[in-house]
Amino acid sequence: MKDLIQKANILQEALPYIREFHGKVFVIKYGGSAMHDEELRESFAKDVVLLKYVGINPVIVHGGGPQISKALELFGIKPSFVGGIRKTDELTMHVVEMVLSGDINKDIVALINRFSGEKVYAVGLSGRDGRLLKARKLDKERYFSEMGLPVPREDIGFVGEITDVNEELIFTLLEHNFIPVIAPIGVGDEGEAYNINADIAASEIASELRAEKLIYLTDTQGVKDEKGNLIPTLKKSEAERLIREGVIREGMIPKVRSALRALDRGVKKVHIIDGRIRHSILLEVFTKEGIGTEVVI
């Protein structure tokens, strides 16, 4: 009986958050170990379905860097990176799109639909579908300068940046009980495909949707300070200082930069959480304590 009462208490604790977020949009960047470990994959899928059934509208944006590199090697192409960005020539772009829009996207859709019941369905989209993610070639001078990195001389190929999001398409899907699962492939004016950083794509989509929350699933606890301690709440001014001082570095910089950009453009809160923990989304959203870093203005 004690266990049953404890379960009831947990549900009661979640009630104020369910009420507050009912009808709101959560954009979730799905990546890291949560995409590879089978137990974590199932936990993620069930959590997303639960969000939808309690009245929250999840939108999933996924990455797939390791899978792309593996596929490239199978084709005899050596993966190449510049300042953390994958150099994407025409052949590499074909492989990137095949892996992201094909294998990974449809696998996530199938996984969510295993647990979704008869009233909710996941649907997979590439940014080229319905011109969902309009894009142009990345301005590398501006991008690398913002990241505090030297600007590379070499051409980075079909790496893009989003210029517009077809939010009407996403809202239409949400209104009809679909869970959009989006591969970060952009489409140019001539129909050409662009490889988009998934963290940045999630930020741009969340901004256009005026999302209540943007949630990044990562392979770390969250953002840490100089001593390696988790920062539960990170303000913009503190984030800028930690980037300048090199405390926030490497792959965390695009996440934090994307988080700050999303907040500046109307997203209410951004969460950087540990996707290696089962039910990490629910623990962050539906409990007072939370488990990761909450980024705020």
Residues 211-265 pLDDT 10s: 999 999 988 888 998 888 899 999 988 888 888 888 888 778 888 989 999 999 9
pLDDT tens digits for range 50-93: 999 999 999 999 999 899 999 999 989 999 888 778 999 999 99
CB crowding 226-260: b at 16 or more within 10 Å, else e: eeeeebeebeeebbeebbeeebbeeebbbbbbbbb
* Model pLDDT, residue 34: 82
Question: How do 193-195 and 185-187 pair as beta strands?
Answer: antiparallel
Confidence of residue 200 (pLDDT cuts 50, 70, 90): very high
**Token pair 């949009």: residue:** 25
The whole-number pLDDT of residue 150 equals 82
For the record, the structure tokens of 179 come out as: 């869970």
C-beta of residue 104 within 8 angstroms of C-beta of residue 64: yes
Mean pLDDT of the chain: 90
The angle that helices 167-175 and 198-209 make with each other, rounded to 10 degrees, is 70
Contact residues for 232 (Cβ-Cβ < 8 A; gap 6+)? 222, 290, 293, 294
Whole-angstrom distance, CA of residue 258 vs CA of residue 201: 9
Fold held by 24-296: Carbamate kinase (3.40.1160)
User: Residues of 44-80 as b/e, b for ≥16 C-beta within 10 angstroms?
Assistant: bbbbbbbbbeeebbbbbbbbbbebbbebbeeeeeebe
- In this predicted structure, what is the pLDDT of residue 12? 74
Higher per-residue confidence, 182 vs 15: 182
Q: Per-residue pLDDT averaged across 29-56, rounded?
A: 91
Pairwise CA distance, residues 233 & 231, whole Å: 6
